[in-house]
Every structure is written in structure tokens, then in C-alpha cells.
Amino acid sequence: MQNSMNKALQYIEENLDVEMDEKEIEKITGTSIYHFRRMFSFLTGMTLTAYIRHRKLSNAMFDLLRDDVNVTDTAFKYGYNSVDGFSRAFREWTGFNPSEVKKQQKQRLKAFPKLTFQLTVQGGAEMNYRIVEKEAFKIIGVSKKVPMQFEGVNPEIEKLANSMTDQQKEKMHQYVNLEPRQVINASYNFGEGRIQEEGYLDHMIGVLTDEEGPFEGLDVLEVPAYTWAIFSSQGEFPKVMQETWAKIAAEWLPSSDYELIEAPEISFVEDYSNLDNVYSEIWIAVKKKN
């Protein structure tokens, strides 16, 4: 994984002044571009888009220090459609205009070096998981767009839970017929700023079913047949569940033979009566790496 990620970074580095070929990145890494983007974000704390933008602007900074380079040529070299767009992005990143680079070189220039992934020893703690094949199913319940939040209870999700009517709960109870046969939480349609804890996602509180309905008064999310990696944990809620997700992203995924599929992330807890010792599960859809 480390070698393929570094080879992908080298490909990106060699093609900063042309359009990236995502198929080539998939070929280099042996994974989907979706998985590569997610793993890059998990491991670096920034999106791939932001990394490429910063590398382009950093290279543009060095180009503009040369006497034979002008702002217009530099803007188009790094894929900007207009000088104004390039100047705005450059100014937001450096704090001054690209035309002022030579004046600033004795005071404050800025650089963004190329990343390299290096092996570090992490983990050492057991992770309990199983791999399960599941046929297509539906999640029925209530949903809304909520802000990203990594730690603690998300107040918007709490509001969503409290908004459920008795009729909706009764309808969900009527149709639930698939494991875990209880209320689950599903998150999907993540914004690009997820890793920076920015932006929004769609969140549904519901149950799993393969019934046809009708599901009047409930939202319906269709989930295709997938392979699922299901991680279980027990301890203080929501701290232990959130720590488990962090380990999945930083430790299990980089070292496993699986890659992520774009699908809802599902979680549930068995019993909230003792928040110091809660059993929980996290489901992520995966497939074998090429």
C-alpha cells in the first residue's frame, strides 16, 4: 500500500501541469479512485484536490521567481481558465498577488513540499470484525442533511431522532426484517470537507428491510448487494465507537486486502441504558483490492 501510494504521488507530481488521468492512478494503486481519495484524506488530513492545488501553487511560486516567466503563462500552465482565477487562488494561499513574488522573495515566500508516505508502527490493539456478504436491502426511516462532527453527540442527529413520530416508529417496526433488526444510523453523500470536519452529510435513522412497502411517511434509501466489513466494539459511548472508526481508517484499511466502496456507512448500538459500557457496530462496504 505504501509503495503504490507513493507511486501515485509521483505520477501526480509529474503531471501537475496537465489534466490528471484518474484511470492511471487506479492502475498504479490497484484500487478505485474513490478508495484512493478516501485513503489519501484519512492518512494526510487533507483532500486530494487540496493537495494538488497547493502543489500547483507552490510550483507556480518558484516559476514566477524566474525572469522569463509571467503570470499569464503560469496561470494557464497550471490549469486555471483565467488570470483572475489564478491570482485569486494564489493570493488566498500566499497573502499577496503573483505579480508581487519577486518583491516578496526577501521577506516571505511560501512552499508546499511534495508528500511522501512512510511506514510507521501503529495499532497493536485488537480489532474485532467480520466480513459478510449481504443482498440488496432498503433503509427506511427519517433523514436530513447534518453538519460533520467527529466527537461527541451530534445535536442535529439528536434533533432528527427526537422528530420521529409514533406513526413513523410503528411503520418502521412493522417492516424491519433484516439484521440487526433494530434502529440503525446511516451516513452517506459525504462532502469533500469531511476529513477537515467541514461541510455536511446526509444522515438517516431507520431500519433494514427487503419488503416492498408501501412506506408512507418514511424516507427510503436503496442499498445494493455489497460485501460488508462489520466492526464491533464495547465501551464508553460515543467515545469508543468514534475511536473504532478512527482505527478503521488509519490502521485497518491501509493494511487490509480491501478497499472502500461508495456506500452508506451504517452503525448501531444495542442498549443506551449504560453509556459506560455500550456494544456497537460499524458497517462499511468493501471489495477486494485488484
Tell me the average confidence (pLDDT) per consecutive run of 10 residues in the chain, 290 residues long.
86 92 92 88 84 93 90 95 95 91 80 78 69 96 84 80 94 95 92 63 95 92 96 88 84 85 93 87 91
Spell out where 236-272 has E strands: 258-260, 265-269
pLDDT at 195: 54
Q: Are strands 137-147 and 219-223 parallel, antiparallel or unpaired?
A: antiparallel
Q: How many helices (H) and strands (E) does the chain have?
A: 11, 9
- Tell which residue, 188, 185, 210, 186, has the closest CA to residue 261: 188
How many whole angstroms separate alpha carbon 201 and alpha carbon 212? 26
For residue 58, report the phi and psi dihedrals to the nearest 5 degrees. -65, -45
Q: How many Cβ atoms from other residues are within 10 Å of residue 246's Cβ?
A: 12
What is the residue whose three cell numbers read 501553487? 57
- The vertex-91 CA angle with 81 and 149, nearest 5°, equals 95
Rg (CA), the chain: 23
Domain boundaries, the chain: 2-104, 128-288
CA dihedral 131, 132, 138, 139 (to 10 degrees): -40
145 — phi, psi (to 5°)?
A: -85, 130
- CATH superfamily entry for domain 2-104: Homeodomain-like (1.10.10.60)
What pLDDT score does 17 carry?
92
**The CATH classification of domain 128-288, taken from the options 3.20.80.10, 3.30.70.80, 3.60.15.10, 3.20.20.80:** 3.20.80.10
Record the pTM.
0.73
Helix (H) / strand (E) containing 245 = helix 239-247
Q: Label residue 106 exposed, middle or buried (CB < 10 Å: 0-12, 13-18, 19+).
A: exposed
